[in-house]
């Protein structure tokens, strides 16, 4: 008897194959084989004229979805049908969540098998789990299928109804989404809070004291019996003390005077206090908490976290990575407790088994937390993993093991010191028993926060002791606006508000970054001008769609559909049709939306209007009776724009660029300008004869006001020749590019070998020897500071046995073989790409390069012949 088993990816197929009996053939569907049409050309001819065809959902016929098999999946479907012909039984072994259930349903609809069908589910790929799943197969869960289909239709209705409206009213290429738009609004709201924030200034004193050769610090807490002001005592909207606060606010002058008054006074310990406390370990990871912690501790984006976790799951290292549950099976608890006892000893084991309860709204995905796979956990060192995979597995292993460890026992220490009419406080922390701290300490969204496992030691102090004050200084404080969201804190906010599903957060964050709604700077998500414009339009005309409570309620209804408590069709009709439905509201309100108003962005404390134009954001200001406009740099956000910058940009537009001086060798004027990509210097003016004068961007570390004439001359001299490479006799240069300063070994036809300069290197003074040192170092990937490692190793090229790998670059995911890079086509992912498909892409790319090269050569040859004929005729 032959059994065909279908899973989503080749990696998963390879792993499962090892645990199945003979006669089982495992193949991959490469994800979904059917979907709604992604473009007009995919719509079948018979439906093209229908008014609903662009939506891909027939809203006039019970919201029937128009499913098509994309061109790229037709070969896969053919292969699956062929494999099914040779099988006596079909097992659908896709993932156990709604998406996996939907993939299995689509496979049934397309393949139409005539043999017995089983649905097999498991949450880890191990021998025991697969054998157990084989004996506990079930039928496809129609409720889960309807829940996924309703989500897909709902997302399509929102996206394909609102996005065209944004194109017409603001700019082409914009998009709206059910969860995406709410996420963007959260970021914009936070930025508005920061803009409206009024900083308050206050001062206090800090003392450095000595007790029996032990130094410790203390801070001023009361003066004259009144509490000293802290940041929480001020109103964020006004910058003044909040109403009802009876505290002392010191100015700089008062702080200095107080310091001088207390300088020589005796210090006495008036009170000491010790409070015991315990810390319990965090629950094992869910999808959301894994994304948060990987971002905090490893600096990995939500998208990369899920990509890496998917690989670990499919290769059998961890359990299923899309889950809301913190529950652990009895076998997992036994494995974790065994690890604790072996690695740390019995005293570090929790006296009782710890079992955690899921708190997130509508938890519904897999039934167990993310943990190492199997009935015994491999230590990170035993896995043979490396790079990002090892780092993420290590994080999961530690968190899982720590959850079965003993509590950490701490003592909080507090010492009050009196000097004249002032009181100072010194705080400390002693760890009496580290417990789970030995394995794992949770990260924090506040980068300045001390980790819980860090002790703060105080000397042995008793009431009446008189330590010596070695140093007393005044300290300046300014209240800080609320911090911008990071990927970790945004994921946490979305989950706590019940918006979207944790399994979709990685895609959502990736989308809002890719679509230009957000820039990531030092982990912070900074909204752009486009984000402000789109959010303002949706808030005014479609407030429900960006309301967190409304979106959360939608999510709950979708969860009820998954459990059969709610019906999907009435819900869709109510959402889209009728007078209050989205379809009707867009038609009614579109006439009332003025594009000029929609493109304008309200930013506080700016004397000009900011608008979204065809080529990006620009400012508009009155200059007498005329209106002048000036483009803003592409990487500038509302957070960066201030009145001084506006004045500089407008001055350049009305009076021409600022002249720094003249070039010492050519005598040409050197100008400082601000363009679409930021500030730059220019040698000479633009004329008919010289349409493109020499230009050079300013390094990111140099502000326009800091630029000197000599620096401008040095910038215009780039790229600068440093010498010739001793092995090739080819030039070695230093220059400034898109990714910052670099050195390059220019080998002509053999290509260019680049290295970025380090922080300690100076762009203008670096010499040949230092450049050679940098070129001798291994090449590093952009932005990571590590040797570039592939996202996926596909295998060897049959022609030359060289590796074919998958990488991520500034323009997306691509496959690489030697010097040929080929981007992944739409619909293809890191998980679905195979060696065979990669070889096709590489061959196609190499062929197009060769054709282009021949075409260029032919044009040059033809041009030469034409020139020759013309010369002959004229002579």
Q: What is the pLDDT of residues 782-795, one digit of tens each?
A: 444 445 678 888 88
Any idea which residues carry the catalytic annotation?
320
Token pair recorded at residue 249: 């606010």
Tens of pLDDT along 475-530?
999 999 999 999 999 999 999 999 988 888 988 998 999 889 999 988 899 999 99
Q: If you average pLDDT over residues 660-664, what whole number do you get?
A: 90
Q: Are 161 and 55 in contact (CB under 8 A)?
A: yes
CA dist., res. 779 & res. 786, Å (int): 9
CA dist., res. 726 & res. 778, Å (int): 18
> What percentage of the chain carries pLDDT values higher than 70?
93
pLDDT for the residue numbered 780: 60
**What are the phi and psi torsion angles at 611 (to 5°)?**
-130, 160
pLDDT for the residue numbered 452: 59
Instruction: DSSP letter for 294, please.
Output: I
pLDDT band of 166, cuts 50, 70, 90: very high
Strand 117-119 with 89-92, pairing: parallel
Token pair recorded at residue 151: 């989500």
Question: At residue 450, does pLDDT exceed 50?
Answer: no
pLDDT for the residue numbered 545: 92
pLDDT band of 385, cuts 50, 70, 90: very high
Q: What dihedral angle (degrees, nearest 10) is formed by the CA atoms of 11, 150, 511, 368?
A: -50
CA dist., res. 551 & res. 160, Å (int): 18
Q: If you average pLDDT over residues 238-248, what whole number do you get?
A: 89
- Identity of the highest mean pLDDT range in 229-233, 690-694, 702-706, 806-810: 229-233
CA dist., res. 748 & res. 386, Å (int): 35
Residue 859, C-beta contacts closer than 8 angstroms, at least 6 positions apart? none
Q: If you average pLDDT over residues 796-800, what whole number do you get?
A: 80
495 burial level (CB within 10 Å; 0-12, 13-18, 19+):
buried
pLDDT band of 751, cuts 50, 70, 90: confident
pLDDT band of 860, cuts 50, 70, 90: very low
Q: CA dist 255 to 223, 229, 268, Å?
A: 11, 13, 21
Q: Are 538 and 545 in contact (CB under 8 A)?
A: yes
* Rounded-to-5 percentages of helix, strand, coil across the chain: 40, 25, 40
Question: At residue 215, does pLDDT exceed 80?
Answer: yes
> What percentage of the chain carries pLDDT values higher than 90?
57
418 burial level (CB within 10 Å; 0-12, 13-18, 19+):
middle
pLDDT band of 870, cuts 50, 70, 90: very low
pLDDT for the residue numbered 784: 42
CA proximity to 206, closest of 251, 247, 257, 259: 259
User: What is the largest distance, in Å, between two alpha-carbon atoms of the chain?
Assistant: 111
Q: Read out DSSP for 182-244?
A: HHHHHHHHHHHHHHH----EEEEEEEEEEETTEEEEEEEEEETTEEBP-GGGB-TTTSSBPTT
- Angle formed at CA 791 by CA 786 and CA 792, multiple of 5 degrees: 135
pLDDT for the residue numbered 446: 53
Helices 330-343 & 387-402, crossing angle to 10 degrees?
A: 100
Helices 142-169 & 582-590, crossing angle to 10 degrees?
A: 0
Q: Which has the minimum average pLDDT: 105-109, 577-581, 724-728, 768-772?
A: 577-581
Tell me the whole-structure pTM to 2 decimals: 0.77
- Higher-pLDDT residue of 405, 360: 405
Token pair recorded at residue 281: 């370990």
Strand blocks (E) in 360-487: 408-419, 422-433, 468-478
CA proximity to 363, closest of 324, 328, 322: 324
Q: If you average pLDDT over residues 834-846, what whole number do you get?
A: 84
pLDDT band of 362, cuts 50, 70, 90: low
Q: Are 233 and 194 in contact (CB under 8 A)?
A: no
Question: At residue 765, does pLDDT exceed 70?
Answer: yes
Token pair recorded at residue 457: 């030691």
CA dist., res. 378 & res. 124, Å (int): 14
pLDDT band of 730, cuts 50, 70, 90: very high
Tens of pLDDT along 315-344?
999 999 988 889 998 999 999 999 999 999
pLDDT for the residue numbered 810: 58
Tens of pLDDT along 588-646?
999 899 999 999 998 877 888 899 988 889 998 887 788 888 888 878 899 988 888 88
Q: Computed from CA positions of residues 829, 834, 840, 841, in that sequence, does the dihedral angle turn out positive or negative?
A: positive
Tens of pLDDT along 817-835?
888 888 887 667 787 788 8
Indicate the SS3 state at residue 50.
coil
Q: If you average pLDDT over residues 837-851, what whole number do you get?
A: 75
- HSE-up of residue 650 (Cα within 13 Å, Cβ side): 20
Q: What is the chain's mean pLDDT, rounded?
A: 88
Q: Which has the minimum average pLDDT: 105-119, 146-160, 436-450, 616-630?
A: 436-450
């Amino acid at each position: 008897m032959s059994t065909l088993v279908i899973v989503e990816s080749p990696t998963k197929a390879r792993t499962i194959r090892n645990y199945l009996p003979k006669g089982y053939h495992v193949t991959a569907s490469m994800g979904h084989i059917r979907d709604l049409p992604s473009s007009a050309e995919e719509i079948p001819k018979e439906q093209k004229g229908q008014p609903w065809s662009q939506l891909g959902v027939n809203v006039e016929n019970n919201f029937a979805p128009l499913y098509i098999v994309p061109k790229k999946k037709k070969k896969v479907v053919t292969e699956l049908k062929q494999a099914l012909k040779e099988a006596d039984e079909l097992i659908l072994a896709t993932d156990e969540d709604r998406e996996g259930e939907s993939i299995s349903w689509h496979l049934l609809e397309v393949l139409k098998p005539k043999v017995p069908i089983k649905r097999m589910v498991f949450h880890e790929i191990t021998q025991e789990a697969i054998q157990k799943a084989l004996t506990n197969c079930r039928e496809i869960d129609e409720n889960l299928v309807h829940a996924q289909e309703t989500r897909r239709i709902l997302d399509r209705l929102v996206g394909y109804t609102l996005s065209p409206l944004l194109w017409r009213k603001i700019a082409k290429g914009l998009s709206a989404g059910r969860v995406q738009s709410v996420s963007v609004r959260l970021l914009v709201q936070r930025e508005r809070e920061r803009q409206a924030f009024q900083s308050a200034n206050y001062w206090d004193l800090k003392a450095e004291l000595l007790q029996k050769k032990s130094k410790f610090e203390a801070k001023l807490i009361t003066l004259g019996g009144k509490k000293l002001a802290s940041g929480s005592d001020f109103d964020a909207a006004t910058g003044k003390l909040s109403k009802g606060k009876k505290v002392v606010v010191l100015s700089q002058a008062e702080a200095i005077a107080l310091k001088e008054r207390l300088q020589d006074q005796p210090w006495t310990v008036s009170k000491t206090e010790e409070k015991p406390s315990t810390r319990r370990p965090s629950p094992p990871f869910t999808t959301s908490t894994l994304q948060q912690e990987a971002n905090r501790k490893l600096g990995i984006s939500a998208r990369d976290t899920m990509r890496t976790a998917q690989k670990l799951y499919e290769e059998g290292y961890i359990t299923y990575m899309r889950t809301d549950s913190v529950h652990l099976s009895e076998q997992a608890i036994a494995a974790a407790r065994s690890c604790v006892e072996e690695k740390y000893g019995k005293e570090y084991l929790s006296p009782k088994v710890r079992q955690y309860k899921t708190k997130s709204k509508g938890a519904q995905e897999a039934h167990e937390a993310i943990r190492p796979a199997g009935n015994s956990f491999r230590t990170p060192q035993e896995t043979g993993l490396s790079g990002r995979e090892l780092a993420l597995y290590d994080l999961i292993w530690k968190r899982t093991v720590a959850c079965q460890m003993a509590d950490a026992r701490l003592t909080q220490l507090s010492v009050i010191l009196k000097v004249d009419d002032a009181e100072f406080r010194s705080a400390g922390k002693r760890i009496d028993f580290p417990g789970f701290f030995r394995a794992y300490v949770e990260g924090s969204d506040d980068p300045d926060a001390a980790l819980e496992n860090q002790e703060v030691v105080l000397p042995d102090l008793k009431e009446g002791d008189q330590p010596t004050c070695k140093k007393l200084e005044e300290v300046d404080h300014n209240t800080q606006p609320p911090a911008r969201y990071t990927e970790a804190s945004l994921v946490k906010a979305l989950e706590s508000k019940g918006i979207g599903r944790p399994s979709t957060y990685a895609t959502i964050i990736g989308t809002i970054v890719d679509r230009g709604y957000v820039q990531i700077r030092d982990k912070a998500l900074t909204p752009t001008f486009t984000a402000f414009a789109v959010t303002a339009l949706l808030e005014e005309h479609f407030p429900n769609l960006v309301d967190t409570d409304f979106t959360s309620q939608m999510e709950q209804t979708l969860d009820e559909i998954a459990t059969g408590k709610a019906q999907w069709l009435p819900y869709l009709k109510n959402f889209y049709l009728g007078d209050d439905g989205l379809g009707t509201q867009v038609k009614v309100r579109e006439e009332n939306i003025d594009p000029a108003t929609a493109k304008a962005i309200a930013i506080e404390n700016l004397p000009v209007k900011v608008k979204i134009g065809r080529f990006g954001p620009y400012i508009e200001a009155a200059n007498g009776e005329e209106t002048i406009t000036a483009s803003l740099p592409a990487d500038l956000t509302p957070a960066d724009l201030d009145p001084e910058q506006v004045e500089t940009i407008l001055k350049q537009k009305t009076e021409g660029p600022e002249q720094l001086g003249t070039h010492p060798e050519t005598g040409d004027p050197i100008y400082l300008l601000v363009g679409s990509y930021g500030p730059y210097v220019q040698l000479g003016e633009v004329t008919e004869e010289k349409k493109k004068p020499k230009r050079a961007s300013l390094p990111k570390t140099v502000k326009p006001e800091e630029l000197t004439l000599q620096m401008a001359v040095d910038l215009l001299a780039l790229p600068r020749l440093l010498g010739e490479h001793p092995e090739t006799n080819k030039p070695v240069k230093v220059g400034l590019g898109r990714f910052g300063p670099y050195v390059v070994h220019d080998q002509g036809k053999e290509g260019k070998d680049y290295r970025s300069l380090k922080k300690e290197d100076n762009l203008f003074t670096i010499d040949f020897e230092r450049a050679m040192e940098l070129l001798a170092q291994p090449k590093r990937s952009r932005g990571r500071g590590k040797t570039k490692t592939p996202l996926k190793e596909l295998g060897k090229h049959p022609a030359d046995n060289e590796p074919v790998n998958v990488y991520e670059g500034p323009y997306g995911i691509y496959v690489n073989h030697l010097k040929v890079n080929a981007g992944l086509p739409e619909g293809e992912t890191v998980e679905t790409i195979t060696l065979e498909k990669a070889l096709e892409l590489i061959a196609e790319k190499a062929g197009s390069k060769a054709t282009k090269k021949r075409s260029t050569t032919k044009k040059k040859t033809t041009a030469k012949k034409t020139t020759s004929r013309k010369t002959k005729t004229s002579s």
